[in-house]
Chains A and B, each alone.
Chain A
Amino acid sequence: MGEKKIVAFCCENSSYKAAEAVAVTESSVLDLVDIVRLPCSGKVEIGMVLKCLEKDHPGVLILSCPVDNCKYITGNVRAKKRVKMVKKALQNAGIDENRVHMDFISSVDTYKFITIVKEMNDRLLKDRPPAGHD
């Protein structure tokens, strides 16, 4: 297709596993995202997220372990603070901060994963033909 997709930073302990589970279902939602696997959501960097948007990716998802369930205890807390700073930078730049969204899912939340991706895709890419049609 050549058109840029939503980037999803996925924690390998939770959302990445959920994505793997989605892969064996009939859902085509994984065609809508470029997944980046992280050892922990706390590894996400402000610069990384901004770079994705700079490179014209329509949106960025940061999918982290549920609160109080981070393998590294406070990784998801740090991720939350960094996402806050990204949003601040976007505000300063006059960019819609809702192009970046953070959510919390566990490794079995396949339905939640699908819903989150679809929601962002439909919201940000209203003008694009839906996935699968080209």
Chain B
Amino acid sequence: MVKGFKNLLILGCGSCVTVCMTGGEKEVGILASTLRLANKKKGVSMEIIEDTIERQCDREFFDDVKDKIEQADAVLSMACGVGVQFCSEIFSGKIVLPALNTKFYGATEEQGVWTERCAGCGDCVLDKFGGVCPIARCSKSLLNGPCGGSQDGKCEVDPENIDCGWQIIYDRLKSLGLLSRLEENEPVKDWSSGRDGGPGKIVREDMLL
């Protein structure tokens, strides 16, 4: 992906990717060292610059590294998919490449372990399910789960790594004394509020300059 560039800027992000230890300052350093070692071995000459900004999803933070970006042949962004694209938009004409694969919105369950929590469906139902999301945490996004593949609290899709979201919902509602909620049939979902309705846009008129 970075073949042929003479001057590469590896740009980290101080936000989510730092929290999940994949794209912050430290990781930029590791990637830069690895790349330099590889280049030296192959006899490739490439200048690699390292820097990290607060966030790559807000225009202002790119000001600090404007010059470095302009001088580079390409930017290898260690931000999430949003940051990579935004950098590319702002510096049109500049090649911006993704160093990471963005997978999900998640939480740090414990240091070193991150798991998915939210699917960005645009129509939050967490109030109905005791604060546990059936869309994001059930492999089939069932609203009237569980399915027959729930065993010992694990999802048959990957019992080692995936907890059955519906077991969690069941246990949570039970502990809240709200188990009777699950006796009601949940109707079909309107998926148009999320990705299925097309790429989203939100405007706050009162905040426009």
Question: Is B26 a contact of A93 with CB atoms below 8 Å?
Answer: no
Contact: B41 with A94, CB < 8 Å? yes
| Cβ-defined contact, B26 with A47, below 8 A | yes
Q: Please, how many angstroms separate the alpha-carbon atoms of A70 and B41 in the complex? A: 36
Q: How far is the CA of A45 from the CA of B21 in the complex (A)?
A: 13
Is A23 an interface residue when CB atoms closer than 8 A count as contact? no
Q: Is A50 an interface residue (CB 8 A)?
A: yes
Q: By the criterion CB–CB under 8 Å, are B29 and A47 in contact?
A: yes
Range for the number of chain B residues in contact with chain A: 10 to 19
Assess whether B34 is in contact with A89, with CB atoms less than 8 Å apart.
yes
Q: A residues within 8 Å of B by Cβ?
A: 45-47, 50-51, 53-54, 89-90, 92-95
Contact A95 B30 (CB under 8 A): no
Residues of A within 8 A of B95 (CB): none
Contact B35 A93 (CB under 8 A): yes
Least CB distance from B120 to A in Å reads: 31
The A-B contact count (CB < 8 A) is 36
Query: Could you tell me the distance in whole angstroms from the C-beta of A107 to the nearest C-beta in chain B?
Result: 30
| Neighbouring A residues of B71 by C-beta, 8 Å | none
| Closest 4 pairs (CB-CB, A-B) | A93-B38, A50-B33, A47-B29, A93-B37
Indicate if the CB atoms of A46 and B41 lie closer than 8 Å. no
Given the known interface contacts A45-B26, A47-B26, the answer about A54 and B33 at a Cβ–Cβ threshold of 8 Å is: yes
Contact A53 B30 (CB under 8 A): no
Closest to B33 in A: A50
Interface residues of B in 1-50 (CB under 8 A from A): 26, 29-30, 33-38, 41-42
Pair A93/B41 contact, Cβ less than 8 Å: yes
Q: How far is the CB of A98 from chain B (nearest CB, A)?
A: 14
